[in-house]
Chains A and B, each alone.
Chain A
Amino acid sequence: MVNTKYLIIGSSHAGLSAAEEIRVHDHEGSLVMVTMENTLPYSPTVLPYIVSGKVTADQVVLREEKDFREKKIRFLREKIVTSVDAGTCEASLSDGERIRYEKLLIATGAEPVTPQVDNLHNVPFLELRTMTDALRHREALQKAKRCIVMGTGLVGMHAAENFVQKGLQVQVVRARAKKNPRILPNYFDGECAGIIQDVFESHGVDFHLTNHAVRVTHEKGEILVTLHDGGELRADMLLVCTGMRPRTEFLTTGDVEIDQGILVNSRMKTSVDNIWAAGDVAQGDDFFGSAKILNAILPDAVLQGKISGADMAGGRLDQDYEGGISMNTFNFFGNRAFSVGMHSVREGSDPTSVDKTVLPSARVYQKMIFEGDVLVGVSAINTDLDPGIVMNLIKARAALKDERAELVSNPVHVSRRLMWKLWR
């Protein structure tokens, strides 16, 4: 039995950020961090680039053993937590060991969801969530000539680009039928996603969006995907990335309230008094509404980790969690896109409160959504807008009044001036 003041499950951005924040407030309290991986901490975001060989696994290590020693963190690898007993404050590990904690942070992230496609489980498909996955893909990639990507989210699109640049022939297919399907549906509206899709197509990627996969088979090293309309796709490799779900299966006792993810308050605390959750596993406040949402994105994981770490150590941070805002950056074939906040006007809002500039030929797109005079969403392709400034402008909920028109006509410089005025 190991006894510790703080136990952190998970060693990616949320866990690391929490551990370091704890050390700001509590230099001595014993701190154990367990990870199921056998590697030093890394970011799941970097995995597509490991696959493509742009960077190597040892280049992108986030912390070394010496960093843990310096911060007096006991870092235990290959420890899978099988259950947590909130009553006795004990976590059980797959190797039979138990850890008793005073305060627990769950930062276990998310795991891939396997879609309901006939016979998929009998086929050697690839997923991308761990370093082991990435290294395996990298090997597979050496031999493969053709690849099918099942899924149209960011992971799938990153992978598709990397595969194309490796010289593979890439086809993208959906796992489920959907009305008006588009790529990157969580971040961009149809028009914007269309521009991005055009770029992918111009690099030879085939999309089968209106025609989802119904069956997958495998013979003599070839993978065969049967489509809804009877068509068939063939490839040497199948990557499935149709979505993620919070990794919570070890919470079986029902003490910690779970919806889609672990429900947390604005200090990242769960329904149990000495358990916190942060990062992709947590379901916290929504910046734009009262619902609890998953907001699985790296900068939010860092922030949530920091807030939970401060709260666990009894420290004060000048901010609570203000609620998740959807955000991402996306760099593809030398083009850059980003999205912060809403990508489409929400129901019940004034549909005319959108300012849009589109130059499809130059692959330039800029859309700003307002509610009243308040900016609530920006998506853009190939503009010089600073995503960070835009995000803080949305977070500030500033009523722009006269400046709204000027912001739309000269967004880069007016948003920078607002930065000077409002928070710099």
Chain B
Amino acid sequence: MEALAIDRLRQLADQGRRTGQLGKAFKTIEVIPGLCDGCGECVNACIQAKGVNRPIQSRIKPLKDLKEPFFAPTICLQCGDPACVPVCPADALNKNPETGVIEWDETKCVNCLLCTLACPYGGIVYDPVDAHVIKCDQCGGDPACVKACKPGALIYRQESEIFNRIGDLEDLFVANSCCQGCNTEILMRHVLRRVGPNTVLAAPPGCVPGVGTVGVNGLTCTKIPSFHPLLTNTAAMLAGAKRYYTRIGRDVTMLALAGDGGAADVGFQSLSGAAERGERMIFVCIDNEGYMNTGTQRSGTTPFGAWTSTTPVGSVLRGKTRDQKYMPLIMVMHKCEYVATASVAFMKDFYDKLDKAIEAEKRGMAYLHVFSPCASGWRFDPSMTIEVQRMAVKTNMFPLWEYNNAEGRIRFTQVIDNPLPLERYLSLVGKFRHLNREEIAHIQKNTTERLDLLKSLSLAPEEKRNVVQEQGPPHERPRSQMPPDQTNP
């Protein structure tokens, strides 16, 4: 049934892509109202680009003569679900499925002006000089107004680029028994999408088999071969399978989806051995900071202070008394080909890392440590799964970085400067609700120390020498050059 539903969704998305109605992201001109100073250069650029004479013929129109200064121009938004297109009685307006631009066909237009009545944004207007409607066509992909905008109030950009990249990939997994708000489901679906059908999946005991790889009536919920090793021997079994396939001349990707128990605790010896031997596989640790599948027991990656069923909170005990084991750095010390921390709240970053892991798997082990909040076990509202991990990253509780063995240093892949206060993350999660100020300060100290360590490991070799000479603490080094935050707010 579920597979059928997914097929339907895919059909719908395909159809949408063809008609340009949905399922594809396009570049559009973004207006940032606060930055516009009303200089009017966009208007000059527009009328020049369109070969017309008067400002009233401009497709972009800054506001004028307001009591309180506000200039943000009106311009066609090239809506995904445009109001103007369906009201055109003459089929003169259509959204181009390739460019996303809503195109106006002069030969069909009957000048009824109903489009100007339908558009709530003033995006299509009447030009009294040429006596027809005018609208922005984004200059065929190189908008003149954007180039002319000195204050930077106009940006030609594309949101959701990731969707174009992965929208056509096949879904190889449909969950059948997740809790509400399950992060593992999202994570598995996208990992399998990217890694693709030429894969063998190993899933040790934990939520991964629970939500689908085991399946029902002898069927799994994956469209690829999957098996269920013990908690202890996942990496060893995959290493053996890989060697077998290599011997018979087949290039098949080995993928492990293990929980933190199956990776960092019970499964560690076989993982450590495989990593040190340089076995070729992608090992994904889905870190939900405990044994969520069996009743919310603590694990090595449970953070200090967190409530679990084995670290209860009461009059004497106050959650976990030990600090979290930071598994990804341990894997860096194994000299894996590629190690990264990731989160599905930063989907583009997540897919970039999957790309690199797939590349690194050709040479040795790729280890991805994915932060995976659990609404049931951590006690937060199931609708907040993504927000919880977004906050964990933005407070530096779970910094996103990657390590490439050839480079020998780690790189941060999301902004780590100016983090949000740690409370923004802790307050979202029920397992931290009891924490007092001292306990929060302790977690803050752990977080800062870890970040300092990561920063020192992120330095290029010549920078490291400078640090040694100056003896300065690494966190006072110049701000790292970070790519901008790619997620939607």
Contact = CB atoms under 8 A, between A and B. Distances in A.
A331 interface: yes
Interface in A385-414: 386-389, 391-392, 406, 410, 413-414
Contacts of A166: none
B113 interface: yes
Contact of B108 (A17, A55, A330, A331): A55
Contact of B119 (A71, A298, A386): A386
A391 B117 contact: yes
Given A43-B89, A302-B87, A388-B122, A338 B15 contact: no
A382 B131 CA distance: 11
Query: In this complex, which of B72, B90, B117, B128 has the most chain A Cβ atoms within 10 angstroms of its Cβ?
Result: B117
Contacts of B67: 406
A219 B478 CA distance: 97
B470 to A, nearest CB: 50
A13 interface: yes
B89 A27 contact: no
Contacts of A392: 120
A49 B63 contact: no
Interface in B161-187: none
Interface string B14-53: 0100110000000000000100000000000000000000
B117 A13 contact: no
B330 interface: no
A27 B117 contact: no
B120 to A, nearest CB: 5
Interface in B80-102: 83, 86-87, 89-91
Interface stretch (A58-66, A93-101, A193-201, A266-274): A58-66
Query: In this complex, which of A54, A388, A391 has the most chain B Cβ atoms within 10 angstroms of its Cβ?
Result: A388
Interface string B448-478: 0000000000000000000000000000000
B70 A420 contact: yes
Contact of B117 (A46, A60, A329, A406): A329
A130 interface: no
Interface string A238-275: 00000000000000000000000000000000000000
Interface string B124-166: 0110100100000000000000000000000000000000000
Contacts of A133: none
B12 interface: yes
A392 B117 CA distance: 9
B56 interface: yes
A327 B18 CA distance: 33
Contacts of A406: 66-67
B63 A416 contact: yes
Contacts of B65: 410, 413
A52 to B, nearest CB: 9
B61 to A, nearest CB: 8
B118 interface: yes
A367 B117 CA distance: 17
A316 interface: no
B70 A331 contact: no
B66 A299 contact: no
B209 to A, nearest CB: 31
A24 B86 CA distance: 15
Contacts of A70: 15, 18-19
Contacts of B90: 43, 46, 49, 55, 59-60
B15 A387 contact: no
5 nearest CB pairs, A to B: A43-B89, A45-B89, A329-B113, A386-B122, A49-B110
9 contacts: A16-B86, A24-B12, A302-B118, A338-B116, A386-B74, A388-B116, A391-B120, A406-B66, A419-B121
